[in-house]
Structure 1
């Protein structure tokens, strides 16, 4: 693509005429938000809502923080933070240039530069998409994982933190010492009660440092609940080539997404905020019903499709959902989930219809392997919480149990060597038990860090083991046959 100019502030005017561009003067934009864990989802979701707010108030630009790798900084710095949002629907792709990102911060020398940005009085919101594992919490209890190597290191040297709880606690300590009001912490990750969850781990970290700091965080800092929803697959080289042809500009890291986008936010902030409602977000008093619906129906089905899809050789969600056996299974899964939710049956049925259409969208190419990552962190809230609800009501949970079995079969077929924070533990279990898949399943269910109280339930372990053996012996289609 050497003959195509690179996207930047200087070349923006050379974009094709049908490409939407920022509707505000970027020279007037100043940072008001620091975002931890900048990746494709944030750039396709929250950064777009912020982009829609900047014409009315340019003081809400975003400083993105890349916490683990320099890739995003290296891709976007030559582009002055500009990137392309490509919305795919069937055979149609619409391109838009997003300008809300002011800079991306990364340093292999530590987080001092990031902490400086977080302590700037102009920063009134710190938002996060760091995935479930980024909060260094126990999935089973929700408490801070004090055995986590990063947490131990941050408690030993709290002034040079590397973890999310350590960064937030140190930023609050420094702002408090300087007489600067605290920012709002806005988690946008798929965690149950994400605001309260993040408050809990940050306060627990702070308490291990200084009780007064923990008390300050508990009383003065807002942690609104949120629910986010948009399907955003990983970007490929084919995507980059398509975007260059579509826009007339080379983009090192465009982001691909679907037309649907939803952001539900508890309207409880420490200070002021952008007019998110004007940009299409839903500002509500209680996020919980929306969050639970999305976690259990969309995310639960996504994870199930990912694990069954990996076992059946389906590369993408649309391929998996196009498999009649898996489509029937997802419908059965939703039938089990719906009685655990607060919404009415008609509303939930409409939501299922919309999810089916989204899952079948072939243009997204959302890879099952990507969704299958970090199962130990996702399965508890996406599947096990629903199982616990149904068991408490005396209801069966056959489809949900099969979904858990698909995860364990996926881990077992990989010999435990999966992309997961608990991969070392899974590898040890596999080495000690396999090829006995039933035994492996029972050992996995005994992992309290994932299964909590269910780890003690022999009948549940037997049901999961049966599902795993069926998948191993018969394959996905036959195991899911009516």
Structure 2
């Protein structure tokens, strides 16, 4: 049995996406199995941290929980798009409604802990709530500013969707008939920076790290992990690879990844020793066959990922008159993806049209960074690399 890092705390869980999951967890007394998959047999534990589970539509219970002074913090994962959406019952509206109820009930302070995969997620949440509350009474808005803290986090662990095979594995390894197992990889990282006015669980007992500033760690994750994933997602399929573990075993892609990490390290803020250790852990993680991380799943929303993961390093290199091959490869692979595949991206229609034009490289670059599009040497090199990648599979 795996218990929460601090048994004095419990989780009231809400989901706004899956109406069946809260019912399943309630029938299982809040228990579920965690399957950690490396290269051998999964390591399985039963988790008992959920005190109760509710569907997101249980508005009365949601408001009561957020109003309760016994609730000290709210963790949430709503995706990047969720922070931009306001109105018609969006996640931000639900959080604001809960905070409004808390204010009315006495105004106990609370910490909000977003766990979405985007830089400065605490400040992103603060800004989204401020925009949503702009027409609220001044007293409530003042309380939001003075009594609600926003904790920045970096969360990193691959957790693919559960399958029926995972359900069968849970029963086989634990004897527990679990219909809500969670499958994950051995690697995990959770970094937090911020204040918890009513206290917090001892998450550090389970490996969480509390730091004063997350900026350097966010940069490391975006460039080294996410940047490498993006590079593989667009070059791997061109060279016949379907998953991350296949890609890092391909000699050309393995060389590109090492070169990307070398390039990013020249501009990263953390000490060299920290970066070297992180690279070693990433390589072991990428090579694991326990989690089949599909490249085309990573390839979605390139218009959001390329600017955050690849372009900062590319700009730094171009300022020194260098043309880093791995960044060129990522852009060339993205161009091929836009031309040849079914594209899942909020700007898909626009980008596909641009990519298929005669001067597609320049046009696509212009859509994400006008200054780079004016860099003729870069545009020519990207065009040439498209041909190089295509020749590599002939």
| Aligned pairs for 1:381-396 within 5 A | 381-391=308-318, 396=323
Q: CA deviation at 1:434?
A: 6.2
| Aligned pairs for 1:296-335 within 5 A | 296-335=223-262
Residues 396/463 of structure 1: CA separation in 2 closer, same or farther (3 Å cut): closer
The answer for the alignment partner of 2:373 in structure 1 is 458
Residues 394/433 of structure 1: CA separation in 2 closer, same or farther (3 Å cut): closer
What is the rounded CA distance, in whole Å, between the counterparts of 2:59 and 2:328 in structure 1? 42
SS at match of 2:37: strand
- Kept after mapping to 2: 8 A contact 1:316/1:367: yes
1:64 to 1, 9, 13: 13
The answer for the alignment partner of 2:365 in structure 1 is 445
- Kept after mapping to 1: 8 A contact 2:239/2:392: no
What is the rounded CA distance, in whole Å, between the counterparts of 2:329 and 2:63 in structure 1? 45
Residues 92/433 of structure 1: CA separation in 2 closer, same or farther (3 Å cut): same
SS at match of 1:90: coil
Determine whether 1:478 maps to 2:392.
yes
- Kept after mapping to 1: 8 A contact 2:11/2:49: yes
What is the rounded CA distance, in whole Å, between the counterparts of 1:281 and 1:350 in structure 2? 18
Could you report, residue by residue, the CA deviation over 1:131-188 in whole angstroms, capped at 9, with x for unpaired residues?
322221xxxxxxxxxxxxx42xx2xxxxxx5223322323222211221313211112
What is the rounded CA distance, in whole Å, between the counterparts of 1:464 and 1:165 in structure 2? 40
What is the rounded CA distance, in whole Å, between the counterparts of 1:469 and 1:188 in structure 2? 40
Determine whether 1:96 maps to 2:11.
no
Equivalenced residue count is 394
| Aligned pairs for 1:212-361 within 5 A | 212-361=139-288
Determine whether 1:53 maps to 2:6.
yes
Residues 446/113 of structure 1: CA separation in 2 closer, same or farther (3 Å cut): farther
Residues 182/383 of structure 1: CA separation in 2 closer, same or farther (3 Å cut): farther
SS at match of 2:263: helix
SS at match of 2:195: coil
What is the rounded CA distance, in whole Å, between the counterparts of 2:202 and 2:166 in structure 1? 32
Q: CA deviation at 1:102?
A: 2.6
What is the rounded CA distance, in whole Å, between the counterparts of 1:190 and 1:392 in structure 2? 28
The answer for the alignment partner of 2:293 in structure 1 is 366
Residues 63/470 of structure 1: CA separation in 2 closer, same or farther (3 Å cut): same
The answer for the alignment partner of 1:436 in structure 2 is 357
The answer for the alignment partner of 1:118 in structure 2 is 66
Could you report, residue by residue, the CA deviation over 1:228-280 in whole angstroms, capped at 9, with x for unpaired residues?
22232333333333232222233223222222222221142232111222332
Query: TM-score normalized by structure 1?
Result: 0.73
1:197 to 124, 136, 158: 124
- Kept after mapping to 1: 8 A contact 2:372/2:378: no
Q: CA deviation at 1:465?
A: 7.4
Could you report, residue by residue, the CA deviation over 1:29-78 in whole angstroms, capped at 9, with x for unpaired residues?
xxxxxxxxxxxxxxxxxxxxxx1222xx1xx2112222233253354333
Q: CA deviation at 1:295?
A: 1.8
Residues 243/316 of structure 1: CA separation in 2 closer, same or farther (3 Å cut): farther
Q: Which runs of 5+ in 2 are unaligned?
A: none
- Kept after mapping to 1: 8 A contact 2:355/2:364: no
SS at match of 1:369: helix
The answer for the alignment partner of 1:15 in structure 2 is none
The answer for the alignment partner of 2:83 in structure 1 is 135
CA-atom RMSD, angstroms?
A: 2.9
SS at match of 2:236: helix
Could you report, residue by residue, the CA deviation over 1:345-381 in whole angstroms, capped at 9, with x for unpaired residues?
2331222122111100111112223323333333332
The answer for the alignment partner of 1:427 in structure 2 is 349
- Kept after mapping to 2: 8 A contact 1:406/1:468: no
Residues 180/352 of structure 1: CA separation in 2 closer, same or farther (3 Å cut): same
What is the rounded CA distance, in whole Å, between the counterparts of 2:129 and 2:362 in structure 1? 34
